[in-house]
Amino acid sequence: MPIDIRALRYFVETARLHSFTQAASSLFVTQSTISKMVKQLEDEVGQPLLIREGKGVRLTDVGRVVYERGQEALGVVHRLTLEVADLSSLGRGQLTVGIPPMVNLFFSPAVSAFRQRYPNLQLTLDEHGGQVVEQLVASGELEVGATVLPGDSGLALETREFGRHPIWAVGPRKAKWARGRTVTLGALRDEPLVMLTDGFSLTRKLSQAFLQARIEPRVVARSGHWDFLASMAAAGLGTTFLPQPLAERLQGQDTLAMARLTEPAMDWAMAHIWSPGRYLSHAARAWLAVCEEVLGEGEKR
């Protein structure tokens, strides 16, 4: 039984809006065109699909089946159209990647390589906290993003790790723990702390570690910017926690002491994320491929 795709689209829109008039307005055609196409579909199916009730319509039992399957069919056609168009557009267009502020420093080599390989593709790095990036990817507002693991377990997202680094304590040179190369969480029990704000994965991991160690942290200040945390530590305000690559950027400052956090040892893992149920454009896949090549990504999880 051949079915006209346009007739199916007009019928689905009419059923969705429960109105020929509203469907005509939505599709920018006349009401008579809508009526004609729905009648054509009914003739193809061999049974009535809509019951007219005053100014509105409702589905028959057969119409309900055609409506549900029609939505699926139109979705397939839409995805097919996207993929075909996408194949010819890799040399142009734009891609937006969501990244947390603390992660952006790692992407410069990948951005440079992507730009050289696809000079006509406009790449935008959209900065948000990791939780916000995860939500934007899950909702479809962003195709792909980066976050710090573990992410929100309630969101069904594919993850591919591309970096893992130990956490270091960074604090004033005069701090009690400053003489060693490692420091335990217990040694920081009475130390004033300057921490990232609550939206960061590192803050959640540290809070859980303090809770398990039965330590009440003495948090004296918070910030969403790692460089400001380092400045507060250098000014003697307290100790902060940073991934090793960020801590290494501060080496050589006479006012700072650094030590790797142990007991518990803690890692900072970065990962790309995307929604497994949505079409991933060739531009997004090209970005992931470049990052895998430049940053050395790990396996999907």
pLDDT at 153: 65
Length of the chain in residues, anyone?
Answer: 301
Name the residue ranges covered by the structural domains of the chain.
5-87, 93-162+269-295, 163-267
Domain 5-87, architecture per CATH: Orthogonal Bundle (1.10)
| Crossing angle of the two packed helices 31-45 and 20-27, in degrees rounded to 10 | 110
CATH 3.40.50.150 fits 163-267, yes or no: no
**HEC sequence for 166-231:** EEEEEEECCCCCCCCCEEECHHHCCCEEEEECCCCHHHHHHHHHHHHCCCCCEEEEEECCHHHHHH
**Cβ neighbours of residue 91 under 8 Å, at least 6 residues apart?**
118, 120, 121
Separation of alpha carbons 264 and 145, rounded Å:
29
User: Which residue in the block uniquely carries the two structure tokens 């309900």?
Assistant: 64
Reported as a single tens digit per residue, the pLDDT across 101-135 is 888 888 899 999 999 988 888 899 998 888 889 99
Is there a common fold for 5-87 and 93-162+269-295? no
Rounded to whole angstroms, what are the CA distances from 161 to 125, 128, 286, 291? 18, 19, 17, 11
**What are the tokens at 122?**
């406009």
Return the pLDDT at 299: 39
Q: Which CATH architecture has domain 93-162+269-295?
A: 3-Layer(aba) Sandwich (3.40)
Token code pair at residue 253: 């400052």
What CA–CA distance (Å, rounded) separates 50 from 184? 71
pLDDT per residue, tens digit, the chain (301 aa), is 678 889 999 999 999 999 999 999 988 899 999 999 999 999 999 999 999 888 889 999 999 999 999 999 988 887 777 767 665 556 667 899 999 888 888 889 999 999 998 888 889 999 888 888 999 999 888 999 999 887 766 788 999 998 899 999 999 999 989 888 999 999 999 999 999 988 788 898 899 999 999 999 999 999 988 899 999 999 999 999 999 989 998 988 889 999 999 989 899 999 999 998 888 888 899 999 999 988 874 434 4
